[in-house]
Chain A
Amino acid sequence: MTLHTAPRANAFAMSGSITAVFFFAALAAIALLSIFEQLGAPTPDIVAGFAGIMLVSFAVLAWAMRSGTAGDHLLASRSVSPVSIGLATATSWIGLAAFTLLTGATYRNGYDALALLIGLTGGLVLSLIAFAPYVNRVGSISLAGLFGERFGGPARLLTCLAVVVCAGCLFVAHLKLGSLIAAHSFGLPIELSLAAAVLILLMVALPGGVKSVTMVQVVLGLLVLGAMLIPLSIASWWTFSNPISQLAYGESLPRLAALEEQMIEKGVIDFNVFRPHLNPFLQIDSLNFCTLVIGLLAGTAAMPHLLARTQVSPSAASARLSCAWSVFFAVIILTAVPAYAALVKFDVYKLIAGQTAIADLPPWVARASHADTVRLWGVSTAMLDDVARATRAGATDSAAISAHLQANGSPFVYSWSQLQAPVQSALADVAKQSGPGQSAAQTWDHFKQSVLPAAATAGGGEGLTITNVEVNADRIVLAFPAISGMPGIATAVILAGVLSAALAGALGLLTTIAGTLSHDIHIALFDRNAPGARRVLGLRCATIAAAVLGAAVAFLYQGSLTDLIVMSFTIAAAVLFPALVLAVWWPRANAWGAVAGMIAGLATAIYYIAGTSEYAIGFAETWSGLTSAGADAMAEFGDLKGAGLAAEGDAQAAALANLQTQASGTLFTPGLANWLGIARGSAAVIAIPVGFLVTILVSLLTPKVSEAHRRVAMAMHDPRHEPVLPFEDADEGTA
Chain B
Amino acid sequence: MRHGFEMVLGALMALTGLALATGLADVVLPQLPIGLGLAMTLATVGLLLMFDGALGRRSRSTQDQNTNLRTVRLATRATACLIALALVSPLLSGLLNLVSIQGFPLAYYIAAQGALIAFGLLAFAIARRQNGIDADQISSDEL
Contacts and interface: CB of A to CB of B under 8 A. Distances in A.
Interface of A: 111, 114-115, 117-119, 121-122, 124-126, 128-130, 133, 246-247, 250-254, 278, 280-281, 286-287, 289-291, 293-294, 297, 316-317, 320-321, 323-324, 327-328, 330-331, 334-335, 338, 585, 676-677, 717, 719-720
Contacts of B59: none
Interface string B9-29: 000000000000000000000
B37 A287 contact: yes
Given A317-B134, A323-B127, A720-B138, A286 B37 contact: yes
Contacts of B99: none
Nearest to B105: A278
Given A297-B86, A320-B130, A117 B93 contact: no
B65 interface: no
Given A125-B123, A128-B127, A324-B124, A111 B82 contact: no
Interface string B77-103: 011001101110111010001001111
15 contacts: A114-B89, A115-B111, A125-B119, A129-B78, A129-B82, A280-B97, A289-B90, A290-B41, A293-B90, A324-B120, A327-B120, A328-B124, A338-B113, A717-B68, A720-B141
Contacts of A278: 97, 105, 108
Specify which of B37, B93, B119 lies most central, judged by the most chain A CB atoms within 10 Å of its CB. Answer: B119
Given A111-B111, A278-B97, A327-B119, 14 more contacts: A118-B89, A122-B115, A125-B82, A130-B75, A250-B103, A251-B102, A280-B93, A286-B37, A287-B37, A294-B83, A317-B135, A331-B119, A676-B36, A719-B137
B137 A126 contact: no
Specify which of B35, B83, B111 lies most central, judged by the most chain A CB atoms within 10 Å of its CB. Answer: B111
B123 A128 contact: yes
A290 B83 CA distance: 10
Contacts of A719: 67, 134-135, 137-138
A677 B134 CA distance: 43
Contact of A253 (B104, B127, B130): B104
**Interface SS majority for chain B:** helix
B7 to A, nearest CB: 20
Given A251-B102, A286-B37, A335 B127 contact: no
Contact of A320 (B116, B117, B127, B138): B127
B122 interface: yes
A493 to B, nearest CB: 24
Contacts of B137: 719-720
A117 B111 contact: yes
A8 B104 CA distance: 45
Nearest to A290: B37
A124 B126 CA distance: 13
B102 to A, nearest CB: 4
B45 interface: no
Contacts of B87: 290, 293
Interface of B: 35-38, 40-41, 67-68, 71-72, 75, 78-79, 82-83, 85-87, 89-91, 93, 97, 100-105, 107-109, 111-113, 115-117, 119-120, 122-124, 126-127, 130-131, 134-135, 137-138, 141
Given A253-B104, A317-B134, A719-B134, A128 B116 contact: no
A320 B131 contact: yes
A290 B111 contact: no
Nearest to A334: B116
B127 A119 contact: no
Nearest to B133: A719
A117 B116 contact: yes
User: Which 4 A/B pairs are nearest by Cβ-Cβ distance?
Assistant: A719-B134, A114-B111, A290-B37, A250-B103
Nearest to B75: A129
Nearest to B90: A289
Contacts of A246: 113
A254 B97 CA distance: 12
B127 A321 contact: yes
A720 B126 CA distance: 19
A287 B35 CA distance: 7
A280 B90 contact: yes
Contacts of B102: 247, 250-251
A126 B122 CA distance: 10
A327 B112 contact: no
B137 to A, nearest CB: 5
Contact of A129 (B85, B126, B138): B126
A280 B35 CA distance: 14
